[in-house]
C-alpha cells in the first residue's frame, strides 16, 4: 500500500468510528449525572439546614443559648448521617448578626451553611446556602 | 414494492449478523442504561426527601403529637423541639426489579410550638 493512499482514501468502519467518538461522551455523561445529583443533594441539604438553624437561633430565649441552639441543629443532623455520608458531606456553619449582641429586637441574623460535597475520584465542590431572619420585635 | 417485500423477508429469515455492531452497541447500551438508572434513582430520592421534609414541617406547624409519629422529637437547649425523620426506603429501579435499592432519607425541622 502506498503511503499516499491513506490521505486519499475515505474508507473506514462506520461502527468503530461511531464507538470511538461516542463512548467517551457517554462515559462523561455518566459521571455528570452522579456529580449533578450529589450537588443537588448538597444544595437542598444546605438550604434546609440554614433555614432551620437560623430559626433555632432567633427563637432562643437568651443570647447565650442562641449559638448553642443553632449548632445543636447541625450536630443532631450530622449525628444521623451514616459514616460514609459524614465523610462525603462535611457541614460548616457561620453566623452573622447585624447587631451586637445578636438577639436584639429587630436585629437581622444570617446563617451561612457550607457543605463540602466530595464526589467521584476526590472531586470536591462546596455548596453555600444562607438564610436570614429578624429577631422578633415583641419577644 | 418488490424491493420492500424482499427486504422484509430477508430481515425475518436471515440469521446473518455483524459481530462488530454487537460489540459496539453493547457498551453503549450498558452505559446509557446505567445513566438512565442513576437519573431515575436520583429523581426518586429527591422526591422522597422533599415529601418527608413536607410531612415533618406540617407536623411542626400544626404541633400534632399523634400516636403514630414516625419521627423523633428531641428537646432543644432553651426550649422547643427538633423533629428528625430518618428512614431508609426501598426504591424500585429500572434494571433490578427484584432487588430494590435502599435509599436513606433524612429530614429535620424546628418545632417552636413548645417554646414558652
Q: What is the pLDDT of residues B64-95, one digit of tens each?
A: 666 667 888 999 998 889 999 998 888 766 66
Domain ranges of chain B: 18-111
Closest chain A residue by Cα to residue B60: A52
Q: Is the pLDDT of residue B3 over 60?
A: no
Q: What residues in chain B have their Cβ under 8 A from chain A's Cβ atoms?
A: 18, 20-21, 24, 27-28, 31-32, 34-35, 38-39, 42, 45-46, 49-50, 53, 74, 76-80, 82, 84, 86, 104, 106-110, 112, 115
Instruction: Kindly list the strands in the beta sheet with A124-134, ordered across the sheet, starting from the edge strand earlier in the chain.
Output: A89-97, A108-118, A124-134
Q: Which residues in A lie closer than 8 A to residue B21 (C-beta atoms)?
A: 15
User: pLDDT value at position A19?
Assistant: 75
- In angstroms, rounded to a whole number, what is the distance separating the alpha carbons of residues B116 and B112? 9
Q: Residue A43's domain spans which residues?
A: 14-134
- pLDDT for the residue A95: 95
User: Is residue A104 a contact partner of residue A134, using CB atoms and an 8 Å limit?
Assistant: no
Residues in chain B closer than 8 A to A102 (CB atoms) = none
**Is residue A98 in some structural domain?**
yes
CA dist., res. B96 & res. B103, Å (int)? 15
- Interface contacts (A, B; CB < 8 Å): 90
pLDDT single digits (tens) B26-67: 878 888 888 888 888 888 888 888 999 999 998 888 876 666
Confidence at residue A20, expressed as pLDDT on a 0 to 100 scale:
78
Full 3-state SS string of B35-101: HHHHHHHHHHHHHHHHHHHHHHHHHHHHCCCCCCCCCEEEECCCCCEEEEEEEEEEECCCCCCCCCE
Q: Is B34 left (phi over 0), alpha (psi -120 to 50) or beta?
A: alpha
Residue A99 lies in a domain: yes
Residue A6 lies in a domain: no
Task: Give me A98's grid cell.
Answer: 447585624
Domain count, chain A: 1
Asked, for residue A8, whether it belongs to a domain, the answer is: no
Q: How far apart are CA A50 and CA A130, in angstroms?
A: 6
Tell me the C-alpha distance between B52 and B75, whole Å.
20
Buried b (16+ CB within 10 A) or exposed e, B80-99: bbbbbbbeeeebebeeeeee
Amino acid at each position: 500500500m502506498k503511503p499516499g493512499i491513506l490521505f486519499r482514501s475515505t474508507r473506514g468502519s462506520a461502527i468503530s468510528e461511531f464507538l470511538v467518538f461516542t463512548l467517551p461522551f457517554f462515559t462523561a455523561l455518566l459521571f455528570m449525572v452522579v456529580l449533578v445529583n450529589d450537588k443537588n443533594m448538597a444544595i437542598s441539604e444546605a438550604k434546609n439546614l440554614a433555614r432551620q438553624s437560623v430559626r433555632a437561633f432567633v427563637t432562643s430565649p437568651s443570647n447565650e443559648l442562641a449559638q448553642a441552639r443553632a449548632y445543636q441543629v447541625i450536630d443532631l443532623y450530622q449525628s444521623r448521617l451514616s459514616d460514609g455520608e459524614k465523610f462525603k458531606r462535611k457541614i460548616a456553619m457561620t453566623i452573622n448578626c447585624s447587631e451586637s449582641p445578636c438577639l436584639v429586637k429587630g436585629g437581622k441574623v444570617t446563617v451561612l451553611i457550607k457543605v463540602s460535597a466530595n464526589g467521584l475520584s476526590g472531586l470536591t465542590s462546596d455548596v453555600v446556602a444562607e438564610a436570614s431572619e429578624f429577631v422578633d420585635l415583641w419577644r | 414494492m418488490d424491493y420492500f417485500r424482499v427486504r422484509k423477508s430477508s430481515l425475518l429469515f436471515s440469521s446473518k449478523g455483524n459481530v462488530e455492531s454487537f460489540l459496539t452497541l453493547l457498551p453503549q447500551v450498558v452505559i446509557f442504561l446505567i445513566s438512565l438508572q442513576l437519573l431515575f434513582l436520583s429523581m426518586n430520592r429527591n422526591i422522597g426527601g422533599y415529601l418527608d421534609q413536607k410531612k415533618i414541617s406540617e407536623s411542626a406547624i400544626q404541633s400534632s403529637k399523634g400516636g403514630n409519629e414516625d419521627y423523633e422529637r428531641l428537646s432543644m437547649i432553651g426550649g422547643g423541639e427538633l423533629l428528625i425523620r430518618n428512614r431508609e426506603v426501598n426504591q424500585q429501579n429500572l434494571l433490578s426489579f427484584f432487588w430494590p435499592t435502599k435509599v436513606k432519607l433524612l429530614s429535620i425541622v424546628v418545632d417552636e410550638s413548645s417554646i414558652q
